[in-house]
Structure 1
């Protein structure tokens, strides 16, 4: 690519589970080789934020984002982070939930969520957001099935405070900006 302008395009935001980190990993490993390369990262809208906007404000309070792919990290680390997110009562956005080559990860995550969270905990399956194939399903954990997710799906798990309601025939979900849990030390 010497003397050429190169553009790397990725869906969503290039800095969130996408190509910007891969580019910087390469630059960092061999800085002298890439010293003359100018890098500019332009922000995009992540799938979790696009999905959240479509259904209201499920990420309206503290939340965390987890990548369920174990291609570049061990499953044990993913499970630990999932459990800590549940313990902290974060709303959570789960990326890369289920691929054909590794369907078991999301199965395990869903089993953990059903074991550790209340049965009425809200879960959202938002597939192919902002495309003609968009599909959004809002339900409680007891209704969730692993096959509802694939690699085009971002899964949003509400906190214990997340609520759903219907207005004008449309289901909305939100997490209040306040918290009734814990102390204010």
Structure 2
């Protein structure tokens, strides 16, 4: 399975996230997950919008260009709105993002966002919240959101704005084409 691990940090110490770090991993059975690509985005003036992006061919089209920078910026700006960030250069809080294809037609219909707090490989012991965007009719559009708290009871209801944010992150993640 492929996944994206996203970490946001407040490196300036002003109480707002200013750096978004994207790490593209591939799980390798019996071995540590393999880091395949790194990208980052920085909000220089603390306005909640990233100003500088760097990475590589994050949309996996064989070119490292402005399309990749735009994709990094779009994902990073949505991620900043979650306000799930670390103080300083800590890596404790992060989100694992991955897609699933329940219809087995090479068209992912679920994007999962797992919010973790802890170190090492993402695992159940560090999982705090789960959110997912679903394409319920397999038409290529993420049309519903499921959000569960740390105990999985579904009592945490997300706002309309949060639902839209989860869908936006899901749509953008799919444009990375980082799924099997």
TM-score (norm: length of structure 1): 0.30
Greater helix share, structure number: 1
Greater strand share, structure number: 2
Structure with greater contact order relative to length (CA < 8 Å, sep ≥ 6): 1
